[in-house]
Amino acid sequence: MKANFQKEIFRIALFGWSGQLGSHLYTQLKKSNWSVISVGRKSSCINTDLRNPQSLLKILKSLDVDIVINAAAITDITYCESVISEPWIVNCLSSNMLSDYCYDAGIKYVYISTDQVYEDRDNLSSEKDQVFLNNNYAKTKYWGEPRQNPNSLTIRTSFFGRRSTGREGFVNYMINSISNGEKIKLYKDVFTSALADDLCAKLITRLLENETVGLYNVGTNNYYSKAEFGTKFIEKLGVRGVKYEIIDKPYSEVKVNRNVGMNCSKVEKWLNIKMPGVDEVVTSVLK
Ligand SMILES: NC(=O)c1ccc[n+]([C@@H]2O[C@H](COP(=O)([O-])OP(=O)(O)OC[C@H]3O[C@@H](n4cnc5c(N)ncnc54)[C@H](OP(=O)(O)O)[C@@H]3O)[C@@H](O)[C@H]2O)c1
């Protein structure tokens, strides 16, 4: 049963607040009147580097928060493959430490995981389906999930949006290619249920408001290919003469599961909502 939740009395520590999802979460949580403490490498309320997780416990003790959200990670899949220990420390070990601390202190722990843990399949993967950890990023994220902590929420998700820092991302790649007059490569054999990043942050906020614990997929109501997203994006953008080709994804050294579409009926039922489809994602990303 969902409790009557007085969110204004809760304090949240948000790790990864400067990232693509974290920045939307920061804005959304503030809009919803939560008290949010930013934790990150620079310009944060609390500066810390997860590559040195020894300092985490001292920091957490000083924070006196009710909820810890961890949206920090090394998200560059190629980098995760080339540097072995750093992603294990940042994505996994520090999450395990945060989860253990939160459990002992009676604090809720929220971990942002990924659709990349799911096995390639012809239909949607639900939370109960088996995982297939094809690369180091997926492994570090899966083993960072707080499965042993009953007072935790794990969100497996994916999202699109304009990135202001870090790696380029799919939407920036399309925008940059269009402005440079370069041909866009759109893969017809790569499928996702990625949401728009701002909506993903809104849904995570709603899950918090509903005192949700456990494992939830948070994505669109069906999967779609990157080619479908790309062509709809170009059409809605309304720019003439955009050059693109629809192709299969070429071989890459780093193995990535190609269909990681998620079944989101669990979150739909819990929040009593209908998840959006690809058209709404495109509209939202173009806003
Ligand atoms: N992007 C996607 O489509 C996608 C899909 C599925 C799941 N996810 C998951 O969603 C979460 C957010 O992803 P995102 O794409 O928003 O990430 P992002 O834009 O790459 O940002 C990563 C965040 O992690 C922080 N971070 C990285 N290394 C750190 C370290 N050593 N110490 C402290 N902070 C560190 C970054 O801080 P700095 O500003 O200091 O670099 C930044 O705030 C991640 O858990 C990711 O695995 C993302």
pLDDT in tens, 159-193: 999 988 777 899 999 999 999 999 999 999 999 99
Report DSSP state, residue 118. B
Q: Residue 46's closest CA among 25, 31, 64, 66?
A: 64
Find out whether 191 and 225 touch, Cβ atoms under 8 Å.
yes
Q: Which two tokens stand for residue 4?
A: 């009557």
Average pLDDT in the chain:
94
For residue 20, report the distance from its CA to the centre of ligand 1, in Å.
7
One-letter amino acid of 274: K
How distant, in Å, are the alpha carbons of 65, 132, 242, 247, 283 from that of 235? 46, 35, 9, 18, 11
Model confidence over 188-224: pLDDT tens digits?
999 999 999 999 999 999 999 999 999 999 999 999 9
Residue 265, judged by CB atoms within 10 A of its CB (0-12, 13-18, 19+), counts as: middle
List of domains in the chain: 9-286 (3.40.50.720)
Q: Whose CA is nearest to atom 18 of ligand 1?
A: 19
For residue 8, report the distance from its CA to the centre of ligand 1, in Å.
26
Please give the Cα distance from 35 to 78 (Å, whole number): 35
Atom of ligand 1 nearest to the CA of 86: 31
Please give the Cα distance from 211 to 68 (Å, whole number): 13
End-to-end CA distance of the chain: 36
Alpha helices, DSSP H, located in 32-93? 56-63, 77-82, 85-87
pLDDT at 5: 53
Please give the Cα distance from 82 to 29 (Å, whole number): 35
Tell me the backbone φ, ψ of residue 178, rounded to 5 degrees: -65, -45
Please give the Cα distance from 172 to 235 (Å, whole number): 16
Q: What is the best residue among 38, 44, 75 to mutate for testing ligand 1's pocket, by most ligand atoms within 8 Å of CB?
A: 75
Q: Residue 10's closest CA among 70, 67, 60?
A: 67
Q: What is the best residue among 25, 36, 41 to mutate for testing ligand 1's pocket, by most ligand atoms within 8 Å of CB?
A: 41
Please give the Cα distance from 282 to 39 (Å, whole number): 31
For residue 188, report the distance from its CA to the centre of ligand 1, in Å.
27
For residue 281, report the distance from its CA to the centre of ligand 1, in Å.
21
Q: Residue 63's closest CA among 50, 41, 47?
A: 47
One-letter amino acid of 138: A
For residue 74, report the distance from its CA to the centre of ligand 1, in Å.
6
Ligand 1, CB within 6 Å, residue ranges: 16, 18-22, 40-42, 49-51, 71-75, 90, 112, 114-115, 141, 157-159, 166
Find out whether 160 and 285 touch, Cβ atoms under 8 Å.
yes
Model confidence over 117-172: pLDDT tens digits?
999 888 999 999 999 999 999 999 999 999 999 999 999 999 999 988 777 899 99
pTM of the model: 0.96
For residue 177, report the distance from its CA to the centre of ligand 1, in Å.
24
- Pairing type for strands 195-196 and 191-192 reads unpaired
